[in-house]
Chains A and B, each alone.
Chain A
Amino acid sequence: MKSIRFRFAVFYALVLAWLAFCCMACDPVDEWGDPEYWTDIAAYKPDKVDSLELRVTYQAGDTVWADTSVVQDSVNRIVCRDTCDSLFSLGRENKVSVDISFYCGDKVVALPTYEIDSHSEYWKPDDLNFRFVEYDERSVRGDFEFEKFLPPEDTSCGKFVNYAALRLKCSHGWCY
């Protein structure tokens, strides 16, 4: 029969191993319990259009998650917290597609699909925080990188030549 001291040593080793594993693979969480890394994609509605549809599709391996939202407000935002955090914490290649459509009158104009390639590490999901906005450098504030312009091919609602994808810079789970 094992001694109580031996049992305690094994228990202690297991706890240490679990903690070590967690440091490498568990999702980091902040003090409020929210995921530290989450996905936040927002599209700002141009004044010329009546409403804006934002569709975000996440594909991580065989798992697909999608969300669609149509709003008439100035900003349309899709936030994927727990689901995407767990999807992106598996060290997989991930693909995120962003489809934006403008509604003006009885017309619907689709912007080119914006594809984001992301590779999350075992210890850190990728930060996917994007803003889609009519870009004017004098009036866009924040810490971001310019990605590309997404003018629609169909110009019946307008040309929107300055509608751009901006990637927010994130640090330790905080995105600006």
Chain B
Amino acid sequence: MFPRMVLLVACLACAALALDDSGFAYFEVSLGGHYASYSIKTESFTHWYHDTERDEMVYDEDLTYDIFSFEGGGPMLGVQAGFSPGERFVFLLDFGLFVSIGDSRYKLYSRDKDEYAETEIMVRPLFGFGLKVFPFTSKNSALYGLFAGTTLSFMWSDNQWENYGMEYCDFDVGFKVEAGKLWSISEYYLVGFTLTAGFHVTAAGPNNEEYGDDRFRIGENPKRDPVDEWNNFHLGLSLTAASKLF
């Protein structure tokens, strides 16, 4: 542990020594609105469905179960902090909070006629780290302040799965991309807007095997991994205030 800490500290020291006069610390706050959609389901592995109305078993190659979907929107808050070793690039940490109001739909099997709908408010935090690029550095240019960025991000879900006997991991992994324009209002401060889009996938597991608890039981959710797809999407537009501290 100690050598790793020494190495880490040495790397940070080297990075700090490598900074030239053009380096700056970056801080940004964004407040705006977003649209969000979320869906998750598990693919059947036996593909047999009990049609209780006709009381017969039906084989369906596309059978899925534990189906959840959400569509809505609401306010979003974003905070970014980082540093730039030069003028164009900012390495940053990204924190976000999404409050999404919309309709959730829960369905036990894809062939079920019954579907449960609820109006829900989901509060979902986001954490990420990544890179932001300011390609135009000349303050005389009209394009000064244009930026684009991307972060590797992690998002926590918030819903009522448990009320319907569904068990999924509440942790999503993905990436966020953003682009926008900032205008200087003083030597250190800028304001503008940011357009963001996030794509996340529910993290696999923890399933039964990872727990080492795969004993045969009835009356309990099998907790298999969901269909692997980009199931968590958001699109946002926000007003942004940023500061470059040299």
Contact = CB atoms under 8 A, between A and B. Distances in A.
A172 interface: no
A152 to B, nearest CB: 13
A161 B220 CA distance: 21
A139 B50 contact: no
A146 interface: yes
Nearest to A139: B219
Interface residues of A, number: 23
- B interface residue count range (under 10 / 10 to 19 / 20 to 34 / 35 or more): 20 to 34
B50 A162 contact: yes
Interface stretch (A30-38, A115-123, A129-137): A129-137
Given A146-B48, A149-B57, A139 B214 contact: no
A137 B57 CA distance: 12
A138 B165 contact: yes
A36 B45 CA distance: 29
Given A146-B48, A161-B56, A176-B214, A138 B219 contact: no
Contacts of B56: 161
B211 to A, nearest CB: 11
Given A135-B48, A146-B48, A161-B57, A140 B218 contact: yes
Of A44, A140, A149, A159, chain B has the most CB atoms within 10 Å of the CB of A140
B208 interface: yes
A139 B57 contact: no
Given A149-B57, A161-B50, A139 B215 contact: no
A157 to B, nearest CB: 13
Interface in B139-173: 165
B91 interface: no
A142 B108 CA distance: 19
A175 B216 CA distance: 9
Contacts of A175: 216
A114 interface: no
Given A143-B208, A162-B57, A138 B109 contact: yes
Given A131-B216, A146-B46, A176-B215, A137 B208 contact: no
B186 interface: no
Contact of B216 (A135, A136, A137, A142): A142
A139 B218 contact: yes
Given A135-B48, A135-B50, A141-B221, 8 more contacts: A133-B218, A139-B222, A140-B216, A140-B217, A141-B215, A142-B216, A161-B50, A162-B50
Interface of A: 44, 131, 133, 135-144, 146, 149, 159, 161-162, 164, 166, 168, 175-176
